[in-house]
Structure 1
Amino acid sequence: MKIRLIAVGDKPRSWVTEAFDDYARRLPRELSLDLVQIPTAKARTRASQGERALKAVDRQDWVVALDETGRSCDSAALAAKLDGWRNEGRTVALLVGGADGLDAKVLARANEVVALSNLTFPHELVRVIVAEQLYRAWTILSGHPYHRA
């Protein structure tokens, strides 16, 4: 199974890249997590950022928009989603907007809209949170002791 995190934003600081890569490396080979960067310099408006993000999405991808308007889920629910995505065998595209969020066209294309939290996070930090939560979801599914709820 392949998951692509499509994120609008400038080149992340080194600690963000290191943390994202650390969690991505912890995932098993059959569950790859890749970051697709949409630079803000080439897409200054939310609409142009959305267009560029959607160009990175393949037609058959299952698109999940990460947006504050979405439905919240806990780690167990995310694990259940991950299990369902894995069983369907599709590539999952997780879309993260820039500082101003996702364009309405992105939300309209999404198969589902998920809120990570009621809190507001810097979009750069969301990359790390998503990677960690995907790792946590995998550990729940595999019975690994990482998740101790």
Structure 2
Amino acid sequence: MRLHLITVGEPKLSYARAGWEEYEKRLRRYHKLQVTRVTGKTKEAESSAVLRAAGRHSLILLDPRGEQFSSEELSRFLDAQALQAGELAFAIGGPEGHTEALRAGAARLWSLGRLTLPHDLAMVVVLEALYRAATISAGEPYHRA
């Protein structure tokens, strides 16, 4: 399956850059991966850039109002999507979040939980969650319940 990760900006802190690079490398063993970094001076400009980057593919927005998944549920969701969609676009917005219009047009909203995470850390958590889901699908021992 092809995964397109769209981020507003890139990790700025050294730990987050290292984490992003590590999990991006690991995730590439399981999925074709594309990363697009977008910018914008306003939340509206960022959301427009995310929409353009996603194109016609199913857009999944990281948003605190979204659905929460266990690792196993995320794995099953990705497996089901692999049968239906050629590509999923995951968008990690900026610190101000997404516009209502972008939320309304998304295929799904995904929440990492009720905690507010720093932007850099959220970017790493998303990649790790996708990697963990891929290892579950592959039957590999990375995930331990």
TM normalised by structure 1 equals: 0.89
RMSD of aligned Cα (Å):
1.6
> Which position in structure 2 is the counterpart of 1:19?
19
Q: Distance in 1 between the 2:10 and 2:16 partners? A: 12
| 1:57 partnered with 2:54 | yes
- Whichever residue aligns with residue 49 of structure 2, its letter is R
> Which residue type is aligned with residue 8 of structure 2?
V
| Structure 1 stretches lacking a partner, 5+ long | none
Partner of 1:127: 123
Aligned equivalents of 2:117, 2:3: Cα separation in 1: 21
Identity %: 34
Paired residue total: 145
Return the alpha-carbon distance in structure 2 between the equivalents of residues 11 and 17 of structure 1: 5
| Aligned residue in 1 for 2:71 | 75
Q: Which runs of 4+ in 1 moved over 4 A?
A: none
TM-score w.r.t. structure 2 length?
A: 0.91
- Matched-pair contact (CA < 8 Å) for 1:64–1:94: yes
One-letter identity of the residue aligned with 2:3: I
In 1, the alpha carbon distance for the partners of 2:36 and 2:78 equals 19
